[in-house]
Amino acid sequence: MITDARLAADIASGAGALLLDIRTAGLGSADGRELGRRGDIAADAFILGKLAAERPEDAILSEESADDRSRLERSRVWIIDPLDGSKEYGLPGHSDWAVHVALWERGRGITAAAVAQPALGAVYASDDDSHAVHAEQLPARPRIVVSASRPPAFVDAVATDIGAEVSTMGSAGAKAMAVLRGDVDAYIHAGGQWEWDSAAPVGVAVAAGLHCSRIDGTPLGYNESHPYLPDLLICRPELAAPLLAAIAKHATDTADSGRVAMARAYIDALVSHDATKVRLADNAWRVENGQHTGESGAFIRDELENGLQYQAIQAVRDLSFHEWGDNVVARFVLDLGATPTEVTSVRITEHFDIPAGAIQSVMAIIEPFAIERENR
């Protein structure tokens, strides 16, 4: 029987070929966001089908599928991201998108992994020692890569401390593999990620001898009840100590929990009208001031992006979160108006029920903000 690492590589390669075909046919004729969704759905179906045929007894945790919590009782769980970097995938001229396939085993962590970068014609696997890394003398000017959309607030200060230069790139897998190839020396992320964002890149990087940890130096855990990881450091081994020391000095913000991160993504979508990062259960429901305004995750996601009632939202401010158990309450002020000079503000109290890896329900109380201030 094919080994787990070879299976991961074969599946990542096949999904990558499928994604290339979809991208070639869609670039220039489809909206970038829609093209990314097409790729996500097709690659997810391809990977799930291959795993069902080759490893039918194993559980799966996928970005594009509902979270089946029975995985928590299983000894083998495949953690997959069918298309990491869907934004870049939908843009011409970008190669920084990837396919992630990893296997987690109880008591052993990530034991097999592969990252495909189809636009580069490359597949990196945990059983391939051609990119083995060994500790060397510190580079004179280390190169750090960070997210183009969510760079850590502290990265410039860290770079100054260790004399590094900073660049940006899409896709966690693309950034991690840039470290593996030696294009850069470290990848730092502190804007929140999910297990599928890093499981395969970490599996490949660790097998090659790179340092992988949280930004406080603690281990990365997978197949957790809530599949959220706030931050990540992948770097050459000789850079780990100076980077961790610099990060500890400058990283003062407290990371969101997984549930708060999900609630924040929903609230961000109110302004951006991009619900790509919003995780909603298939049967999610929403109530606003006692009125049912959504009876499925797909409907709510479409409303966030296209609903006319949300198009006038200009800004969210004074945002705070309170979390207990499976619940998150967000309180904020919402500014609405057809133009920047015609703004009406309302006070929102929004309750999220998040029992697992997706929002199950949203209940909102909407009050006139001006009246609230007058009554104080």
Residue located via tokens 């009208």? 273
- Cβ-Cβ contacts under 8 Å for 24 (sequence gap 6 or more): none
- Cβ-Cβ contacts under 8 Å for 56 (sequence gap 6 or more): none
Q: Is 84 annotated as a binding residue?
A: yes
Q: Is 197 annotated as a binding residue?
A: yes
Alpha-carbon span 56 to 73, nearest angstrom: 16
The values of phi and psi at residue 26, to 5°, are -100, -25
Which pairing describes strands 280-288 and 291-294: parallel, antiparallel, or unpaired?
Answer: antiparallel
Q: Is 83 annotated as a binding residue?
A: yes
DSSP secondary structure string, 21-84? HHHHHHTTTS-HHHHHHHHHHHHHHHHHHHHHHH-TTSEEEETTS---GGGGG-SEEEEEEEEE
Alpha-carbon span 39 to 24, nearest angstrom: 11
Closest Cα partner for 255 from 196, 199, 190, 194?
190
Query: Which tokens go with 331?
Result: 């309180």
Q: Is 318 annotated as a binding residue?
A: no
- Cβ-Cβ contacts under 8 Å for 278 (sequence gap 6 or more): 262, 265, 266, 269, 301, 304, 359
Query: Which tokens go with 344?
Result: 């009406």
CA distances from 358 to 31, 57, 285, 353 (A): 26, 24, 12, 9
Residue located via tokens 């945790």? 61
Q: Measure CA 77 to chain center.
A: 18
8-state DSSP, 220: P
Q: Is 63 annotated as a binding residue?
A: yes
Q: Is the dihedral of CA 11, 14, 19, 20 positive or negative?
A: positive
Query: Which tokens go with 289?
Result: 């001031």
Residue ranges for the binding site? 63, 81, 83-84, 197
Residue ranges for the binding site for Mg(2+)? 63, 81, 83-84, 197
